[in-house]
Structure 1
Amino acid sequence: MLTVGVDIGGTSVRAAVVEPDGTVLAEASAATPESAGELDDTVAELVGDLAAGRSVGAVGLAVAGFVDPDRRSVAFGAHLPWRDDAVVDRLTERLGLPVVLEHDANAAGLAEHRVGAAAGATVAVLVALGTGIGAALLVDGAVYRGAYGVAPELGHLTVVRGGRPCPCGKHGCLERYCSGTALGRSAEELIAASEDFSVLRATWERAEPVTGRDVARAAEAGDALARRVVDEFGEWLGQALALVADVFDPDVVVIGGEVSASAPLYLDRARRRYADEVTGTGHRRLAEVRPAMLGGRAGVIGAALDARERAQRT
């Protein structure tokens, strides 16, 4: 059975027809609309176009927002128009196909477990490094959601008391130090505090934001300041991995998200810090820390595979 996965983010809606082994047959995308009705229309149009002439059995939605425990409604998404919205019932009726709803990080984690870097893992954690930090926990292949559907929220663990302000309202959250956004912020702070040469300084002096991509490109080109920022990022990631290991004791941790494309710059350092920081170091087995395999398609693939598995159970 073919299924369609739809990854709904704050800027774009991506959809794909996916085979049972995770192979993407066709895909399409559109900008994320600002109203709930227009978002419904966009999803329906993308699914309709991709399903035309194909035997599609179900649709999976991966959403960047809070999904209710029953997985039928979107409670909230900071960059989405759906609010306490029973999207599953409405879109099931409109599309004429079963619709399954999932958080986008959980969908990506599911994809990596089924056909990616976490295949065969007993306890797998996905850490998605992008604008913030997304995370997923799978135990014996099943997504762990917590009592109210929002676990695990790793990005908002407080790691620096009174530290950098976070959009969530707290200070010192992990994602303020270990994300694509954090790379840019750390570079700006270092430039402001020193007179060291850096290709990033011109951007900062124009009062333009330094992005994580800017930092990664500069580090790859040998820029010393950018390299220091990336090294610090690796230290923070290693500390995060130690926290993950102490709480969940996984056998595999997958590093995904946009920043994972630059994993060769920082992952070895993160592994070393993790090995030094974890409780009982030297007397316990460590999780394998692997870069993600599925890239930006993980969300749509996971949503599609989730829909297929749910359809087979009903």
Structure 2
Amino acid sequence: MDAIGIDIGGTKIAGAVVTELGEIVAEERVATEAGDSDAIVDAVVAMIESLAAGRDIGAAGVAAPGFIDAAQSTVYYTPNIPWRGEPLRDRLVERLDLDITIDNDANAAGWAEFRFGAGRLVSDMTMLTIGTGVGGAIVTRDQLFRGGFGAGAELGHMRVVPDGLPCGCGARGCIEQYGSGRALLRMANAIADVGGIGQALARVRDQNGKLSGHDVSALLVENDPGALAALRELGHWLGQACASLSAVLDPQLFVFGGGVSVAGDLLLDPVREAYVAHLPARGYHPEPEFVIAELVNDAGVVGAADLARVHLGLR
């Protein structure tokens, strides 16, 4: 049975028809009107209707940023869209003759990697998405973990530094402030400020007016020592976080997705080093693998579609 997956992001809404094998057979994208809740619902409805036209579609899954309730129906809160207790599933169901499931976007991406990507050979997997912020997904014993209220696995808001940097969630010291793309830019700017290995970073910043993620990525490709130092610092914090997560979750595999993950082993090497250095019972605790996600930009729609099948009991 084919299903539709929709991934609502801060700048775009992506949709696809996905087969039971995780293959995309049709897809669409539109810009997100992030400040207009009604416009987003209209866009999702129109996209599902368009993708379903002339096809035998059994269900649709919608991946949304933020906290989703345990019934996979209501968006408790999302940071970049004005949804507070938004009954998203009900609003879609009343306009569509189709079973609809709502899930967190990081959960959808993590599930896609577990089912069809880097995690398909294990039963217990933890995924961290390293983009502007840090997202997370947990699979344990072949089941997606959501928590008692549905808002679990917000791994980016695990605190790693007591009274550390303020986070957009209202807390201080979250891993999102030390292990995200935004954190990487802050670290790169700090290195540029002191000169030395930061000379190339400072030069690019002066030329462009500011450093961007693309600038840092380009310097990483050139093995620039300043950019590499920033990435190592980022990996150090992520490795510490993974060591703490292992003490609780004991995954067989850590998967890293998101824009920063394109650095590959340049990111994973310092993650592994810091993980081993901070792992409880070091030398006696089995060590997981650390890998880069395989599905990249398709993970959200593929995972959302497959979770719609799970919700119907077809998986």
- What is the TM-score of this pair, normalised by structure 1? 0.94
The residue that corresponds to 1:85 in the other structure is 86
Confirm or deny: 8 A CA contact 1:88 1:99 kept in the other structure: yes
Give TM-score, length-normalised by structure 2. 0.94
Q: Who is 2:64 aligned against?
A: 63
Q: Map of 1:145-160 to 2, 5 A cutoff?
A: 145-160=146-161
What does residue range 47-58 of structure 1 map to in structure 2 within 5 Å? 47-58=48-59
- Cα distance 1:168–1:204, how it changes in 2: closer, same or farther (>3 A)? farther
SS in structure 2 at match of 1:5: strand
Q: How far did residue 207 of structure 1 move? A: 8.2
Match for residue 139 of structure 1?
A: 140
Letter of the structure 2 residue corresponding to residue 188 of structure 1: N
CA displacement at 1:93 relative to structure 2 = 2.3
Partner of 1:36 in structure 2? 37
1:106 counterpart = 2:128: no
Q: 1: distance between equivalents of 2:196 and 2:123?
A: 49
Deviation at 1:36, TM superposition (A): 1.7
SS in 2 for 1:167: coil
Q: Are positions 1:233 and 2:217 aligned together?
A: no
Q: CA deviation at 1:170?
A: 2.5
**Runs of 4+ displaced beyond 6 Å:** none
Distance 1:37 1:173 in 2: 32
Cα distance 1:281–1:293, how it changes in 2: closer, same or farther (>3 A)?
same
Tell me how far apart the structure 1 counterparts of residues 260 and 76 of structure 2 sit (CA, whole Å).
28
For 1:187, the equivalent position in structure 2 comes to: 188
- Aligned to 1:3, the other structure's residue is in SS state strand
Please give the per-residue CA displacement for 1:180-238, whole angstroms capped at 9, x wherever unaligned. Answer: 11110001112123354533213534684423332222121121111111121221221
Distance change (3 Å), C-alpha of 1:164 and 1:211: farther
Root mean square deviation, CA, Å: 1.8
How has the CA–CA distance of structure 1 residues 151 and 43 changed in structure 2, closer, same or farther, with 3 Å as cutoff? same
Conservation of the 8 A alpha-carbon contact between 2:135 and 2:156: yes
Match of 2:24 in 1: 24
Provide the residue aligned with 2:205 in structure 1: 204
2:47 is paired with a residue whose SS is helix
Superposed displacement of residue 128, structure 1? 0.8
Tell me which amino acid in the other structure corresponds to 1:184.
L
With 85-94 and 286-295 compared, the bigger mean Cα shift is at: 85-94
Q: Percent identity among equivalent residues?
A: 38
2:54 and 2:119 mapped to 1: Cα distance? 33
Q: Provide the rounded CA distance (Å) in 1 between the counterparts of 2:298 and 2:32.
A: 17
**Corresponding residue of 1:274:** 275
Measure the CA separation in 2 of the matches of 1:4 and 1:112. Answer: 17
- What 5-or-longer segments of structure 2 have no aligned partner? none
